[in-house]
Amino acid sequence: MNAAGAGSATPTHGARRAPERSRSGGTGDEGRHHDFDELYAAHFTSVTTQLFAYLGDRQEAQDVTQEAFCRALQRWREVSAYDDPVAWVRRVAWNLATSHFRRSRVAAAFRRRHREVHTPEPSPDRVALFAALRALPPRPRQAVVLHYLADQAIVDVAESMQVSTGTVKSWLHRARVALGEQLQSPANPGAEEVRNA
């Protein structure tokens, strides 16, 4: 489909609904300001079509276009006063698409240079340990992972988490107790590497 010819079509084929506008975000002078919903309906398809041709991925094109319109909605009092609001939306969408395309090229180059590394399946005790870790609060859980699994010193854990070493030691002690209680069954030996540390 010609991208220009799609400019007046209402978004279809999985296109997103226009972002909701708050009541306080009205356009005021309807004779001068463009209506956001009408702009979205009239131009979403054409912008998406252009980005689809550039990115080669329809879903990504729709996501980028949606993000551009969301940014327009956030600044609608300003954007709606422009002579050509859709030009602003299109410029933002293209900037976003260009950034996405550059990231995709870097990722593709990385994949070409580095073969995928297949990690082995975790042992049953590791599976049990990871399940028990999910029961811990997020911050103590992070401290346990950094110290016991990533082999970071307590001072390094404290620095990366921006807390005192005493706080880290307290978290680790409480985590060892909690994990020991959860995994004290012989069928769940996964806490041994933490309890014996």
Lowest mean pLDDT across 52-56, 59-63, 81-85, 118-122? 118-122
Query: Among all chains, which residue has been given the structure tokens 């976003």?
Result: 96
Lowest mean pLDDT across 21-30, 47-56, 99-108, 120-129? 21-30
Instruction: Please give the structure tokens belonging to residue 112.
Output: 């070409």
Q: Which of 100, 28, 92, 17 is nearest to 60 (CA)?
A: 100
* pLDDT value at 22 more than 60: no
Q: pLDDT tens digit string along 114-162?
A: 665 565 777 787 788 888 888 888 899 899 988 888 888 999 999 989 9
Q: Average pLDDT over the chain, rounded to whole?
A: 77
What mean pLDDT is predicted for residues 185-194?
Answer: 51
pLDDT at 76: 93
| Cα distance between residue 40 and residue 123, in whole Å | 52
Q: Give the whole-number percent of the chain exceeding pLDDT 70.
A: 68
Is-contact 48 18, C-beta < 8 A?
Answer: no
Query: pLDDT category, 26, cuts 50, 70, 90?
Result: very low
Is-contact 94 102, C-beta < 8 A?
Answer: no
Sorted by where each starts, the structural domains of the chain and their CATH numbers stand as 4-113 (1.10.1740), 124-195 (1.10.10.10)
* pLDDT value at 53 more than 80: yes
CB atoms closer than 10 angstroms to residue 193: 14
| Cα distance between residue 155 and residue 150, in whole Å | 13
Is-contact 190 181, C-beta < 8 A?
Answer: no
What mean pLDDT is predicted for residues 56-68?
Answer: 91
b/e per residue, 91-116, with b = 16+ CB within 10 A?
A: ebbbebbeebbeeeeeeeeeeeeeee
Q: Which of 42, 32, 31, 33 is nearest to 69 (CA)?
A: 42
Higher-pLDDT residue of 120 and 25 is 120
Please give the DSSP secondary-structure letter assigned to residue 147.
I
